[in-house]
Amino acid sequence: MSETLRHMYEIYIRTTPEKLWNALTNGELTKQYFYGAAAHSDWKAGSAYEMIDEDGDKMLFGDVVESDPPNKLVYTFNAAYDPAEDRDPPSRVTCEIAPMGEICKLTLVHEHFAGETETFKNTRSGWGPILSGLKTLLETGKPLGFRRPQEATTGS
């Protein structure tokens, strides 16, 4: 595993830590900003999770490594939507929520890639639209509406 290959994002959202945590873990909300995928888990350390798309297919899966609501969530990341990524070993996502008055800072780090894998390459462009959608949903109550990663990167 390469500790140096990682994607890191910081966004500021006008919301509470509790609402942000709920948006990260509630399937009814994730499907509004995570390319139509609903999260399924109890989000306790050691539990499994799945992200299921609108067709009922598994998009992502993994295990919850650490869960400290509403402050920190760590989980393994296995892509099931792309055969090339499906062969990659799991990577790890850490979400840290820091309240800052009326806003929250969300820091998302995706790391522990086994080199420049397909997962590493594809998640580089995937997280931006997801996090923008999360911010928009929480601040306006309306989703951006991306249903596929290609819509976010090519507009089609």
Residue 38, domain CATH: 3.30.530.20
Q: pLDDT of 5-28, one tens digit each?
A: 999 999 999 999 999 999 999 999
Over range 86-99, report the average pLDDT: 95
Q: 82 Cβ partners below 8 Å, 6+ apart? A: 118, 122
- Predicted pLDDT of residue 82: 80
118 domain-assigned: yes
Q: Is residue 62 part of a domain?
A: yes
Give residue-wise pLDDT tens across range 103-135.
999 999 999 999 999 999 999 889 999 999 999
Q: Is the pLDDT of residue 156 over 80?
A: no
Instruction: Name the residue among 131, 142, 108, 140 with its Cα closest to residue 152.
Output: 131
Contact predicate 60/50, CB 8 Å: yes
Q: What Å distances lie between residue 49 and 27, 53, 63, 104, 153, CA to CA?
A: 11, 13, 6, 25, 26
Does residue 2 lie in a domain region?
no
Number of structural domains (the chain) is: 1
CA–CA–CA angle 44, 49, 56 (5° rounding) = 150
Apex 113 CA angle, 56 and 124, nearest 5: 65
Residue 48's pLDDT is what? 99
Assess if residue 14 is contained within a domain: yes
Question: Considering the domain boundaries, does residue 110 fall inside one?
Answer: yes
Percent of the chain, pLDDT > 70? 91
Spell out the residues 6+ positions from residue 126 whose beta carbon is closer than 8 angstroms to its own.
Answer: 149, 152
Query: Is 103 part of a structural domain of the chain?
Result: yes
Please check whether residue 1 lies inside any domain of the structure. Answer: no
| Token duo for residue 7 | 């994607």
Residues 6+ apart with CB under 8 A from 141: none
Tell me the residue range of the domain where 44 lies: 7-154
Report if residue 28 sits inside a domain: yes
The angle formed by the CA atoms of residues 30, 53 and 5, to the nearest 5 degrees, is 70
- pLDDT band of residue 145 (cuts 50, 70, 90) is confident
